[in-house]
Amino acid sequence: MIHKKLWRCALVAALTWAACSAGATDGVEPRQLLIGQSIALQGGRNDYAAAVMDGVRAYLDKTNAEGGVHGRQIALRTLDDDNSGAQAEANARRLVQQDKVFLLFGSIEGGPSSGVLQAASELKVPFIGPMAGTPTLREPFQPMVFPVRAEHKDEFRAILEMARGTGVRRVGFMRTDSEVGLLHLRNVKALCHTLGMEFVADLPFQSNLSDARIAAMAQTLAQSQTQLVLNHGSIGAYEKLIRQARAQGLRVTFSAVNSGSTELARHLGELAHGMVMSQVLPSPFERRTPIAREYQDDFARRLPGKPFSYGSLEGYLSAKALVEALRLAGPQPTREGLIGAIESAGSLNLSGLRNSYGATRHQGMSLVELAIVTRDGKFLH
């Protein structure tokens, strides 16, 4: 009789566990939340991505050390997309369909972020914190995507307005030769028209960018009498153009958007002096904002000796946004519940940084500041 009772109890327990498992949300385990990430590590060659990941790990390690989110540790499964949109989309599908992650998080660069967006939208999985300024992350409205940083269009506007005030009228644009690059080109041309500036040099490039192509781009700048160049895409490619232009003696001014600006300035050394770069975050080098103080204290404690940078601050802030979203989702999170909770809250707690999310628009932040690179390689906001 005792054996029969034990057998029945065991059977009930097994059936209950099976029923709960069948109804469970992917990636949500009793003690863990599994999050998926595709990012352009490029086999360790992308130091901007490495900086981003340092910031992400600093915040997630802090969160886990403090008990996680609703008693669950956050586990991050990261795949390298090698800065390829197609690979990023394949990575995202694998993370959702095979690895069974709860949501997708934290890509960088426009092409890969668009690839993850495609998978997230089709698979109905939230995509938190893409670290890219791609227009399609917001327009048309993407109900699965929650950007944190401002978009490149706002950065282009800030740089062009500043340049126009100094007498600049002739503008060039270095961009990826892709659908995303064309969207950015359209925005730059529209902004030039609005500001009464002339767009004179379109400089598309592909991943197999040759020295001959770089030299031809510099010649295009000379022949078109370009006064100011903006960029979108690889900082490595932009660095090559800047070096070639200076080697040819061109006096054109180069400005840059935020992505990898710390690393670009470090690579260029003296050639970066005087460059104006748009930033979508407060200065990571000063302690004038709550998020910068929080980041500096945690980063220095967990990664002693590593330098502060815009990349690691963006990784830190994006991870903070992820954690805040998970907290809003509650102790029994579902994907639908997480989306509804963020939209109902209207914003995420990001140490005083203004951000907004609603049922028909996921704006994130709109902060854009300009910083000039000093002679000693520092950024003065």
| 204-221 pLDDT per residue, tens | 999 889 999 999 999 999
Q: Among 300, 297, 313, which Cα is nearest to 367's? A: 313
Axis-axis angle for helices 310-329, 261-268 (nearest 10): 170
For residue 16, the model assigns a pLDDT of 38
Residue that wins the pLDDT comparison between 7 and 334? 334
Contact 322, 105 (CB under 8 A): yes
Looking at the chain, the number of H-run helices and the number of E-run strands are: 12, 15
For residue 40, the model assigns a pLDDT of 94
- Looking at 3.40.50.2300, 3.30.930.10, 3.30.540.10, 3.40.50.720, the CATH number of the domain 152-257 comes to 3.40.50.2300
Over the chain, what is the mean pLDDT? 92
Contact 142, 121 (CB under 8 A): yes
Residue intervals in the chain for CATH 3.40.50.2300? 28-149+288-365, 152-257
Least confident of 94-98, 225-229, 257-261: 257-261
Cα–Cα distance, 35 to 96 (Å, whole number): 9
One-letter amino acid of 344: S
CATH 3.40.50.2300 fits 28-149+288-365, yes or no: yes
